[in-house]
Amino acid sequence: MSGAWGRLSTTLVALALTVTVAVTVADRAVASAAPAGAPPVGAVAPTECVGSRFATLGAVYDAVFDSFLPVLPPDVRERSVSIKARAHRDLSALRISTLAVSNHPYDLGADDRDPIMTYRDPVSQWIVTQLVNVRDGHEADAITVDNLTVAQAVETVWLYLYVTVMVPLTIARRTIPKIATVAGPITVGMLLTLPITLGVMAATALYKTISKKLVDACIVSVTESQKRTAGRPVKDLRFTNSVPSIVRDIAGQISVADADTCPPIGGLPLSRIVTRTSSYLQAINKDRAVDARIAGLTDQILRFMRTTRVYPNLIPADPADFQGATAALSSIGTLIPYVGGAPLDIGIGLSQNLREGHIGDTVALSDLTVTKSLTAAYYAYALSAHLVELVWQEAGTDPTASMLNNLFPGAGITAAMLPRSTGLLGAPNLYGLVVYHNVLRSTCLTEDRRPAPAHPVTRRW
């Protein structure tokens, strides 16, 4: 099984890179074998040059193969039809569960103004994709690699690279100790982590550029029928996947948040969450006495929340809302000793709130949004982990260093020589809470959906 997944991952990476090479960065980059408006060999239907959302890997293979056909040996040219047919059979034989594929937000019905375009990471995007699949009954479907779209391949390859490479590298970067001082605040650890920091940033920027450019590019010409079926699962073929009932229940209540028609869950007040949770608990409970206690406790909580005032703008702006120079400073700031990381982000977030004014305004706790409360939790966790590390390294004795010095007397081991706790302590915050928050900002309650405005949105199916 692992060998099959390895071959599949290699195939996806290779095909995604082939598409990237075949398409120039111009807005009208056309594969040489598929000029815009030119029908494929043997086709009589009109064609349209499409981007990554409708260009399948099978169509891209044909375009790349045909582009090299004039320079191939005569015997290969004579067998080109059979070679391509065999390749398509092999690609069609590789079938992937929809649960293993991540879709571009456009294929989930989003547009550039919707929250998911801003508040997403590879994992949250995959979670939203799967919730939509479960809601629409596609959780057990299978897609052939031949019919997988370039957009699906790019998003899925990036998901697996993120989980298997980017996340471990980031945790490792946050774990590397100071080791020794080079000059002033510059340490050996800083010099070691700088390439990782810049590499992760460069890879992320490259992915965003490729993903956007391929959506808007002209990759290959396809017929209307090919465009309509691109990325769709195999008909009458389903895996025997079993989705937990709680996941199916959640999926049935949400949609992708829309700037015009469906406000994100992250923007809802806490009072709404309390009342919905109370209603759900009463709905699944069969004991009336317990229902009465739940209702009474809910009233007490709501009364407390309505009478408690908080300062929402004293909660720093979320790092996901940093833009331009502040976003760059936040990313590079992790290299700054002592204040880099959580303290710097808090300062940036508060200054952003201060620029927007109303820093002294108060609201009832019941009106505080889900996003504000999760942002506060994020900063509380991040700052606590940061202070714990500072105390261990600067104001006290690292328990691990003490233990090692007891085991190896005279070794002179200090906290600066040991892996930092930040990497592991911060992982649940960065890859747990932040992902959860992005999902809540990318989705909405279906019951909140308003009538849609008069502009169509193309869905995959």
Does 382 map to a domain? yes
C-alpha dihedral, 313 to 318 to 320 to 324, nearest 10°: 60
Is the pTM value of this prediction over 0.75?
yes
Strands 220-223 and 47-50: antiparallel
Least confident of 12-21, 121-130, 271-280: 12-21
Does 420 map to a domain? yes
DSSP 392: I
Per-residue exposure over 32-58, b if at least 16 CB sit within 10 Å of its own CB, e if not: ebbeeeeebeeeeeebebbbbbbbbbb
Q: How many Å apart are CA 371 and CA 411, to the nearest integer?
A: 48
Instruction: Name residue, tokens 């908080």.
Output: 310
Same domain, 272 and 416: yes
What pLDDT score was predicted for residue 364? 95
Domain boundary among 181, 205, 240: 240
Same domain, 320 and 368: yes
pLDDT digits (tens, 9 = 90+) for 2-16: 444 444 444 444 444
Both structure tokens of 403: 């233990």
What pLDDT score was predicted for residue 327? 87
Domain count for the chain: 2
Would you call 317 helix, strand, or coil by DSSP?
coil
Same domain, 53 and 144: yes
Query: What range defines the domain where residue 440 resides?
Result: 265-448
Would you call 212 helix, strand, or coil by DSSP?
helix
Does 329 map to a domain? yes
Select, from the ranges 75-89, 191-205, 301-315, 406-420, the one with the highest average predicted confidence (pLDDT): 301-315
Q: How many Å apart are CA 67 and CA 441, to the nearest integer?
A: 44
Per DSSP, helices labelled H in 232-369 are 245-251, 270-284, 288-307, 325-332, 342-356
Same domain, 86 and 224: yes
Same domain, 271 and 227: no
Q: Do 204 and 62 meet the contact criterion of CB atoms below 8 Å apart?
A: no
Does 250 map to a domain? no
Select, from the ranges 4-13, 17-26, 149-158, 326-335, the one with the highest average predicted confidence (pLDDT): 149-158
Q: Do 431 and 409 meet the contact criterion of CB atoms below 8 Å apart?
A: no
Q: Please give the full DSSP string across 69-120, using - where no structure is assigned.
A: GGGS-HHHHHTHHHHHHHHHHHHHH-EEEGGG----GGGGT--TTSGGGTS-
Same domain, 271 and 209: no
Same domain, 128 and 228: yes
Q: Which of 155, 204, 164, 153 is nearest to 328 (CA)?
A: 204
Does 459 map to a domain? no
Q: How many Å apart are CA 1 and CA 170, to the nearest integer?
A: 28
What is the distance between the terminal CA atoms of the chain, rounded to a whole angstrom? 29
Both structure tokens of 439: 């999902």
Same domain, 169 and 36: yes
Same domain, 343 and 437: yes
Would you call 206 helix, strand, or coil by DSSP?
helix
Q: Which of 266, 271, 358 is nearest to 314 (CA)?
A: 358
**Which of the four pLDDT bands, split at 50, 70 and 90, describes residue 454?**
low
**Residue count of the chain:** 461
**Which of the four pLDDT bands, split at 50, 70 and 90, describes residue 24?**
very low
Same domain, 322 and 396: yes
- Quick one: average pLDDT of 82-105? 91
Same domain, 201 and 302: no
pLDDT digits (tens, 9 = 90+) for 279-329: 989 888 888 899 899 999 999 999 999 999 999 999 999 999 998 888 888
Same domain, 213 and 336: no
Does 457 map to a domain? no
Q: Which of 108, 106, 378, 350 is nearest to 266 (CA)?
A: 378
Q: How many Å apart are CA 439 and CA 433, to the nearest integer?
A: 10
pLDDT at residue 341 tops 90 = no
C-alpha dihedral, 206 to 207 to 210 to 213, nearest 10°: -100
Does 361 map to a domain? yes
Does 95 map to a domain? yes
Domain boundary among 206, 240, 274: 240
